[in-house]
Amino acid sequence: MIPNTKLYVSERIVLLRIIDVLALGLGLVLCNQFLNFKYINILYAPFSKNTITLLAYYLIAAQVFEMYNLVDTASRFKTVRNLFAVTITCGVTYLYTPFLTPVLPANRIDILIFLLCIFFSVFIWRNIYIFTVAKKQFYKYVLLICGDDNMLKDLIYHVSHHSKDNAMYGYVSENKLANSDGFLDIKTTDINEIIEKNDIKELIVSLKGFSKEDEYNLNQKLAYYFEQGINILSYEDYIERVTFCVPEKNLTQHFYKYFNFSENHHNRLYLFFMRVLDVLAGLIGLFFMMLLIPFVLIGNLLASRGGLFYTQERVGAKGRAFKIVKFRSMVMSAEKNGAQWAVKNDARITKFGKFLRKTRIDEIPQFWNVLKGDMSLIGPRPERPEFVSELEKQIPLYAIRHVIKPGLTGWAQVMYPYASSIEEQKKKLRYDLYYIKKRGLFIDFKIVIKTMNTVLYFKGQ
C-alpha cells in the first residue's frame, strides 16, 4: 500500500471535476495554437462568458451522464459511452444557445474540431485516472471491529461489493469467520499498532456480541481514536452510506433510535421553494404534454387500441386518496381479475406502452396532479389503496412514507426497479425512508439528475 495516497469519495469526485475542467481547457488551448481553431479562444479570454458557459454545460451534462459515478469511472467502456453522450449533449447545446455563446463558426470544420476536442481532452485524462487513481492501492483502508458474526459478514460483504473506494484491512472480533481473511483476535491484537503502521483513517464498529470486558476496553480505545481524528462509523451508518437506504436491521420497534425526520419537513423556506418548483414544473410539464398528445394519440391508435388516458386511485400525504392521471400503457382489460402489481416484462403492457414506459412519457400527465398539489415533483411514489392496506399489515413502518406528499419521481424509483412482491416492497421502503431522513435540496437535485439519466438511457420499466 502506498502511504498518504488514499482518496476519499468526495475527494475523488472533486478531483475528477477539477481535472476534467483543466483537461478541457488545455485541449482548447492546444487547438487554438496548433489547429488554428477560432471558435473559442480560451488562451486570450480564459474567464469569458463563452468559456464559463461551456464549462457549466460540460459539468451539468457530465453529472447527468454518470461521469462522476465512481463505479462507472473505473470502467473504460462506460467512460467512453458516457463521455460520448456528454460530448454530443454539451457540444450541440453550446453551438445552438443564443446570446450565451459565440455565433456559429464560418469554417464548419471548427465544429468538428470543437466536438473532438471535448471528447479527446477528457478521454485522455480519464484513461490516466483509470490506470492510476482508480487502482486499489489508492483505496482508503478501513478496519472492522464487530462482535456479532452476522453483522460482521454483512459488513465484509458491503465493503467488498458496495464500497466505491474502500478496502478492508482486516476485522477485529472474538471469532474467525469461515472463508474470510483478515481475522484479528480481540484478545491478542494491538489495534493501536495496526492503525499507526497502516495509516488507517476509518473504523467501522459494532460492539454487539463482545463480552462486557472487551466492550469496556474498546470504548476506552475508541474515545482515544476519536481524539486522534480517526473517523468512526457505526455499523448502521456505514451500511446506510454505501447502500443509500435505511438498513433493514433498523426497521424494528426501536426504529426511533436510528431514524429521524429531516428538519426540512418543517422548514417553511424549503417547503415554499418546493411548492414554487412544483407549480413551475407542473406548468412546463403540461405544456410538453400538449405537444406530445398528437404523437401519443397516433401511437395509441396504431399499437394500443383504447383510451388515451387512465385514472386510478392512489394514497397521498397523510393517507388521503386522490386520482392519478397517466397515459395508458396497458391493455384495457389489464385488471379484469382485480388489482395487480406491475412486474418486469408484464404481458399486460402494450407494444406502444413499452415505449411510453421506457421513456417515462406515460408519467407526464401526472404533472396535473403536481400542479393541483396532490403530488410533488419529488417524493415516494404513490401506491394504490388495495396494496397499501396489505403492505401496512405485512411491513412495519410502511405508513411512514405517507408523512410527505408522493412524488412524480423519487429516491426509491431511481435506485430500485419495480417492486412486485412483499420483499421487494420492503427494499423499496428502505429507500423511501432514506429520502425522508435526508430530505433536502442536495438529494432532490440528485434525484432530478438520476431521473434524467433514466429517461435518456431508456432505463424505465
What residue type is 187 in one-letter code? K
Give the confidence band of 19 by pLDDT, cuts at 50, 70, 90: very high
Q: Which of 26-35, 89-98, 330-339, 350-359 has the lowest mean pLDDT?
A: 330-339
Annotation: CATH topology of 139-243: Rossmann fold (3.40.50)
Neighbours of 27 (CB within 10 A): 22
Give the confidence band of 4 by pLDDT, cuts at 50, 70, 90: very low
Q: Mean pLDDT, the chain, as a whole number?
A: 89
CA 393, 394, 395, 398 dihedral sign is: negative
CA distance 363 to 368: 10
* Residue 460: per-residue pLDDT: 61
Query: What tens digit of pLDDT does each residue of 305-357 get?
Result: 889 999 999 999 999 999 999 999 999 888 877 777 777 778 899 999 999 99
Locate 1 and state its grid cell.
500500500
CA distance 388 to 398: 8
pLDDT (mean) for 375-398: 92
The CA distances from residue 135 to 12, 129, 166, 443, 451, in Å, are 12, 9, 11, 29, 30
Q: Where are the domains of the chain?
A: 9-131, 139-243, 263-456
* Residue 194: per-residue pLDDT: 93
Q: In the beta sheet, which residues pair with residue 323?
A: 313
The angle formed by the CA atoms of residues 442, 446 and 447, to the nearest 5 degrees, is 115
pTM of the predicted model as reported, rounded to 2 decimal places: 0.83
CB neighbour burial string for 139-161, b if at least 16 within 10 angstroms, e if fewer: bbbbbbbbbbeebbbbbbebbee
- What long-range pairs does 175-180 form, CB within 8 A, spacing at least 24? 175/149, 177/149, 177/152, 177/153, 180/153, 180/156
* Residue 244: per-residue pLDDT: 92
* Residue 5: per-residue pLDDT: 47
CB distance 411 to 432 below 8 Å? yes
CA distance 174 to 27: 56
Percent of the chain whose predicted confidence (pLDDT) is above 70: 97
Residue with cell 470504548: 219
Nearest to 140 by CA among 158, 112, 165: 165
Q: Out of 41-45, 99-103, 399-403, give the one with best mean pLDDT.
A: 399-403
Q: In the beta sheet, which residues pair with residue 170?
A: 143
